[in-house]
Structure 1
């Protein structure tokens, strides 16, 4: 989705408030909101963060968060332009920049292929190594009593749900030595 925050499209505060309301309804990626806030201040529609927060009826903390995101390196912003980032993911990026330096993270961001998931992109930014290509990702759902299996290729994974269930049950039923042996074999076969 393209966003046009130019002076031609948003000539004044009244229009900016209307565009902001539309953005909130459409729930754009955080990068788009960050750009919007940054551009509104840069263009002088509001003089500072406090006035912007008041004018858009949002908290000063929200404005501060968005402006911090807008200051991320351009190569990092491009990675997440069409993605939704959690506050924890945003903080991870900022921490990586503080710890490893903006130049390192910018270079790593340039090596991330288009369409990479947020999780895999963060892995590349963290390690500097390409993300492992896995057909499925299993994660525990926080606060719930289940885990989920995500796949970019759902159509080929879904028909095998029964097999996946059997494998998981076999792992649960196996003792630690058997699981360790299987994991060793899997590691050997992937190298």
Structure 2
């Protein structure tokens, strides 16, 4: 896990040396990133961006946290009445739970064999998005549709599986610096 954090930091720092770069503050609701999440986005070219968000989710009456990392590729950038619209963006995301009590990487000893449950503290998936940036106000809104890794597998292997547990959408509010 520490290697992933270090690699992510190096990735962001290397691309921060580019001449043109946009930073955004992010607030997001839903989409597997927690009930609410707060973070930042770094865009080193109009086509490439990375996001890091800290999300909050509830189990019972307690709040738990998760770390979210997203890479997003935007092939099209359309001028929409003086604003920028990215109609279709593709990407991948990772979600890491910070609650070691409820989520685990190895099954506890009471289960029949070590990999009885798959890991649940770390998940990844695919993302499809659309973002509209209003330049005079430097505010943007985004819609994100995300599919978890096990949702992609379930779509092909089990026709009776309810995909609502693997597909989620979210809205984001962004502010450009």
TM-score range, shorter chain: under 0.3
More helix by share: 1
TM-score, reference length from structure 2:
0.25
Higher relative contact order (CA 8 A, sep 6+): 2
